[in-house]
Amino acid sequence: SNMLDELSKPYVETAIAKGMKPAAMLRKYPLRMAFNPFVADIGNLLPAMVSGSVLVSVVLGLQTIGPYLLTALKSQDQFLAAFVLMFVALLTLIGTMISDVLLMLLDPRIRMGGRAR
């Protein structure tokens, strides 16, 4: 749906009117813009894999970090619970950094640093 939305924008019609080849125009403009929401969501994917596994592993009885976190919270083992939560926070930071770098490479309007005056 993002791609269909981008194809109806004026810059696509302008590129076609100027004689740009359709395949090159698709790669250069609308495809890169349509990927922005997906790439921006990568930051949430890494911690969601760990936190979502808590429910799945408890229900299925798998020996992953999920049951250990639940046991640590029930027995008030603050060090193990804090480690798991800090690990999820670290995954959030890493995921956000990866998505920011990919967005910077994908979209030329996004750059590191502020605007030069």
Are 46 and 102 found together in one domain? yes
- Predicted confidence at residue 75, as pLDDT, reads 94
**Same domain? 54 vs 100:** yes
Q: What is the pLDDT of residue 78?
A: 92
Residue-range definition of the domain harbouring residue 85: 42-108
The whole-number pLDDT of residue 39 equals 84
- H helix runs in the chain, sequence order: 2-7, 10-17, 22-28, 30-34, 36-40, 42-60, 65-74, 78-106
pLDDT at residue 115, as a whole number: 60
Do 25 and 49 belong together in one domain?
A: no
Position 34, amino acid = A
Per-residue pLDDT of the chain (117 residues; tens, 9 = 90+): 888 888 888 888 888 888 888 888 888 788 888 888 888 888 788 777 777 777 788 788 878 877 888 888 899 999 988 998 898 888 888 888 888 888 888 877 777 665 655
For residue 117, is it within any domain?
no
Same domain, 4 and 47: no
Would 115 be classed as within a structural domain?
Answer: no
Same domain as 53, residue 5: no
Two tokens, residue 65: 């970090």
Same structural domain for residues 58 and 18?
no
Structural domains in the chain (count):
2
* Pair (22, 65) in one structural domain: no
